[in-house]
Amino acid sequence: MSETTAAPVAVPVLFVTEPIVLPGMVVPIALDDAAQAAIEAAQASAPDGSAQLLVAPRLDDRYPTHGVLASILQVGRMPGSAGQAAVVRGERRAHIGAGTTGPGAALWVEVTEAPEGAAGADGADGAATDTVKTLTAEYKQLLLAMLQRREAWQIIDYVNGISDPSTLADTAGYASYLSNVQKRQLLETVDVAERLRLLIDWTGEHLAEVEVTDKIAEDVRTGMDKQHKEFLLRQQLAAIRKELGEGNAEGSDDYRSRVEAAELPEHVREAALREVDKLERTSDQSPEGGWIRTWLDTVLDLPWAVHTEDSTDLPGARAILDADHHGLTDVKERIVEYLAVRARRAQRGMAVVGGRGSGAVLVLAGPPGVGKTSLGESVARALGRKFVRVALGGVRDEAEIRGHRRTYVGALPGRIVRAIGEAGSMNPVVLLDEIDKVGSDYRGDPSAALLEVLDPAQNHTFRDHYLDLDLDLSDVVFLATANVVENIPGPLLDRMELVTIDGYTEDDKVAIARDYLLPRQQDRAALSADEVTVTDAALRKIAADYTREPGVRQFERLLAKALRKAATRLVAGDGPDTGAIVIDEPELVDYLGRPRFIPESGERTAVPGVATGLAVTGLGGDVLYIEAGAGGSEPGLQLTGQLGEVMKESAQIALSYVRSHAAELGVDPAALDRHIHVHVPAGAVPKDGPSAGVTMVTALVSMATGRKVRGDVGMTGEVTLNGRVLPIGGVKQKLLAAQRAGLTTVFIPQRNEADLDDVDAEVLAAVAVHPMTDVADIVAAALEPAPAESIAAA
């Protein structure tokens, strides 16, 4: 671009944000105080009516480099507006220079005109070059194409009459599809060729968008017209059929043929044909027709005649169960027993499909992470059956089990029927997950609806509200899972076989991690056994000091974390020279941080008045510390730690027993005539149950005598007012918790001795279990010997 030679002139400046004025445009501008001052200054500087001012855009607070020298055509009020406005006409581009002074309150600047011929000219006469001519023709073609789509014929005639390229380009100031920023860029682009290139790009993109939008609108319009036409033709066809006496509703013949061709039980076929008869008599406009079609589709989709054949290979079934899960002997034996009975019934020609009680209903109860849910798939594979899972956690609507009546809007069959349909056979393995978390409200009690489903003597005639047909569930194997057996209603629990999974020992966890978890996590981390190895010592360290859980869910998360760090080292090239990473016990701190759990029973019982008890929670067995203290002179008992009513009563019974047997226990009665405070730490966790009774007695005697409780001792059992130790539940889980906590001696009620048969030999070898009948014997064995000076004083 050549330099301009015109001399600078001083003019008032009018900043506008809307509209952006280009040369040749005539636009009205609303006047605020600053704009009014600029208009008045321009008029005062040229009384003869030739007033000029600079109209410049002000966007995003950026000071403009160019503006338009404009003449004032008219000043007055705009129609429909109370404010002042001025009509200006853009004349020439001008480059804005330095500020100057002038009359009035307006801002004055020095501007230099930018002659249009200075850019893109060929010769002194300013004739357009061939490039500019080509660009002008291309832009005019695009502009006319867009105007023709809008049918703006008058504007087309005006554009056809423009021969000057700069004038044609500046007409884009009226374009609504250009943003103010784009128009400012046109104003600041003095070169005509460059201006035309910008407009060609912008106009071409907008024209393409308009064409796509118009095409979509045309397609939508065509589709609506087609649907309207089909609707009219269908109405005419229905009228013709009515006149001819052919009253069958649309599609009823198809449903009749489908029902007759389907393999349905006789009572189902009769019900389906009755519904087809109703459909034939139903008008197309009646909503009942849609309900009937949906019901027929649901009935025809169910696999009424499909039954998978059970496997008779008992060793093969047991091998599948053993390959998928470590331990869980009770469940595996029960499934093999079921297969054995089915095989003998088949050999003797006895009915194995349908009838009363030919299925099985088991509830797997245990803490999280022990493999209850995944066991369902293994059972299905061992049986050779289809598998489907039904999540019951949080279900509160009885219709979720039995379905809705067909008269309800959006009615559906219940989850049991839908599960049968998803499985594709009438004898699948159905896993009812989290059955202990079923709730109830005003919509009914789902657990009550499950009574018929899970009763082997009744479920051969299960009736879903939606189907309203008898459905034979007697050949279905139902597996339910639960964390807390006590949360399952008694009548429902009575209909199922209870199989308790109490958790894994440390050796079990190491074996599971080595054989199952580690290979799975290595595969997920894209690692091989040759690249990363985790030693058995490291696995045992993780089980002992990094996790305190009955299952292996957290164990697997920690393994995944260690393998991710190992993979990161290999990718970053930080691995050993051999290329293989070995994670041993010393390296666990680098991969998993410091151990989260360390034995603390000795530390907690280092002062008198603290005893270690054993409890069972929804997460399995756990240790429970009972603290007893005395202070003040006002006798009384204070209990803290979010204790339930049963546990509060246990504390009162324990205090009453200690007071009434003070001499026998070596307690000074005066030591109990004070304010007694019993606290169970972890105060944010609710606690309840009677099994802490013996622990509370021991803690009170320890507090009153000043003798500490042995740090390696744990105990559990309900206590009576005369000191009898009554049986409790969850012995295996409590002993597993004692082993994890590092306890070596545990006192349990004598009547729970039979429960030791279910405890692993590894646990019994690590923990010495002493069945007891009198709490006084527990106190005598649990307390450390009295100090020598006390014995001498006595």
**Bond into 19 cis (ω within 30):** yes
Q: Are 743 and 712 in contact (CB under 8 A)?
A: yes
Q: Which letter, b or e, does each residue of 37-55 get, where b requires 16 or more Cβ atoms within 10 Å of its Cβ?
A: bbbbbbbebeeeeebbbbb
Q: How many angstroms from the chain centroid is the CA of residue 184?
A: 49
Asked whether residue 372 is marked as a ligand-binding residue, the answer is: yes
Strand 387-391's sheet: what is its strand order?
387-391, 429-433, 477-482, 360-365, 497-500
Burial of 599 (0-12, 13-18, 19+ CB in 10 A): middle
Is 734 one of the catalytic residues? Answer: yes
Q: Are 449 and 401 in contact (CB under 8 A)?
A: yes
Residue 211, CB half-sphere, CA atoms under 13 Å: how many? 10
Q: How many angstroms from the chain centroid is the CA of residue 719?
A: 46
Is 656 one of the catalytic residues? Answer: no
For the range 309-318, what are the long-range contacts, defined as Cβ-Cβ under 8 Å and sequence gap of 24 or more?
Answer: 309/384, 310/339, 310/342, 310/343, 310/352, 310/383, 310/384, 310/385, 311/339, 311/382, 311/383, 311/384, 312/339, 312/342, 312/343, 312/346, 314/339, 314/340, 314/343, 316/382, 317/382, 317/383, 318/382
Point out the catalytic residue in the list 45, 691, 702, 732. Answer: 691
Asked whether residue 126 is marked as a ligand-binding residue, the answer is: no
| Cα angle 189, 194, 195; round to 5 | 60
Asked whether residue 593 is marked as a ligand-binding residue, the answer is: no
What is the H or E stretch that residue 746 is in? strand 745-749
Asked whether residue 353 is marked as a ligand-binding residue, the answer is: no
Q: Are 630 and 676 in contact (CB under 8 A)?
A: yes
Asked whether residue 369 is marked as a ligand-binding residue, the answer is: yes
Asked whether residue 373 is marked as a ligand-binding residue, the answer is: yes
Q: Which two tokens stand for residue 358?
A: 């030919």
The secondary structure of the chain in percent helix, strand, coil, rounded to multiples of 5, reads 45, 20, 35
Whole-number Å distance between alpha carbons of 125 and 130: 15
HEC string for 66-92: EEEEEEEEEEEECCCCCCEEEEEEEEE
Helix (H, G, I), strand (E, B) or coil at 717: coil
Whole-number Å distance between alpha carbons of 774 and 751: 12
User: Which regions of 249-323 does DSSP assign to beta strands (E)?
Assistant: none
Q: Which phi-psi region, left, alpha or beta, contains residue 746 (left: φ > 0; alpha: ψ -120 to 50)?
A: beta
Q: In Å, what is the CA distance from 68 to each residue of 23, 76, 94, 532?
A: 6, 22, 6, 73
Q: Please name every residue paired with 623 in a beta bridge, in sequence order, or none if there are none.
A: 614
Helix (H, G, I), strand (E, B) or coil at 503: coil
Binding site for ATP, by residue number, is 366-373
Residues designated as active site: 691, 734
Binding site, by residue number, is 366-373
